[in-house]
Amino acid sequence: MATKRPSSAIEDYLRAIYGLVERGVEVSNATLAKRLRVSPSSVSGMVAKLADLGLVTHVPYHGVELTEPGRRAACDVLRRHRLIELYLVEELGYTWDEVHVEADVLEHAVSDSLIERISAKLGDPTRDPHGDPIPAADGSVEQPPTHLLRDLEPGASGEVARVWDTNPEILRYLAHNGITLGARIEVLERQPFGGPLVVRVGERTHSLGNEVTAVLLIRVPTSQ
């Protein structure tokens, strides 16, 4: 039989760990606690449990890492999460800033058979509304090579391939300014001392602050 699904708390931890790694953020007790809006002592407790279950390796006072079973379980949740996000946008008229919260709950409630029907109805898509890759049913994921907008130099250009979906306000700000998936974006200049990045999108130019440029992933055509 298909082995039982982890509790929703466990699934949230696994997805959080996977998400931090995906964004290149250090997976510390503190970053996990902040991301999950939970106290550090709760994280300690759950990490010990995950290690017991063989889903992570844990070196006390140092880091946490997903094991292969842990990575697999994380991908399972992530697949559900992202398919649900896309489904809500495609079938129920949600916008990309509204779907994350809803999917964070539903990801634990949909059965395997329901999620496969959803996937089929959507044509087995590979990207969610934020450009995030949707893990396949077999647990494989393809991470598209992109660059953080923050790291691009003036003169560089490309198209918006992905947006980190944590902050709905930023997502609304972006959409409001025509900065959506697939938009062509060109870096015009970078103001010093942590100042904004001036970019052109279509006809318009925008000065984007650090919080925004740290959230936009750009596909640059001829990047070595």
Partner DNA sequence: ATAGTGTTTTCGGCATGCCGAAAATTCGAG
Partner DNA sequence: CTCGAATTTTCGGCATGCCGAAAACACTAT
| Count of beta carbons in the 10 Å neighbourhood of residue 90 | 15
Query: Segment 45-84, which members bind DNA (CB under 7 A)?
Result: 45-49, 58, 60-62
Of these partners, DNA, its own copies, Mn ion, none, which one is at the site of residue 111 (CB under 5 to 8 Å by kind)? Answer: its own copies
Of these partners, Mn ion, DNA, its own copies, none, which one is at the site of residue 128 (CB under 5 to 8 Å by kind)? Answer: Mn ion
* CA–CA distance, 142 with 54 (Å, rounded to integer): 24
State in angstroms the smallest separation of the CB of 80 from DNA.
17
Angle between helices 29-36 and 8-22 (to 10 degrees): 120
State in angstroms the smallest separation of the CB of 115 from DNA.
20
Q: Which stretch binds its own copies (CB under 8 A): 21-29, 87-95, 126-134, 199-207?
A: 87-95
Burial of 135 (0-12, 13-18, 19+ CB in 10 A): buried
Region label for 123, one of left (φ > 0), alpha (ψ between -120 and 50) or beta (otherwise): left
Contact residue for Mn ion among 88, 165, 187, 199 (CB under 5 A): 165
Burial of 208 (0-12, 13-18, 19+ CB in 10 A): buried
SS3 126: coil
Closest to DNA by CB, 31 or 126: 31
Of these partners, its own copies, DNA, Mn ion, none, which one is at the site of residue 45 (CB under 5 to 8 Å by kind)? Answer: DNA
State in angstroms the smallest separation of the CB of 119 from Mn ion.
15
By the rule CB under 8 A, 86 interacts with its own copies: no
Contact residue for its own copies among 23, 34, 117, 184 (CB under 8 A): 117
Calculated CA dihedral for residues 208, 209, 215, 221, nearest 10 degrees: 40
Give just the sign of the alpha carbon dihedral 103, 122, 97, 181: positive
**Under the rule (CB under 8 A), what is the footprint of its own copies?**
88, 91-94, 101-102, 105-106, 108-111, 114, 117-118, 121
- What is the contact surface with DNA in residues (CB under 7 A)? 7-10, 12, 28-30, 36-49, 58, 60-62
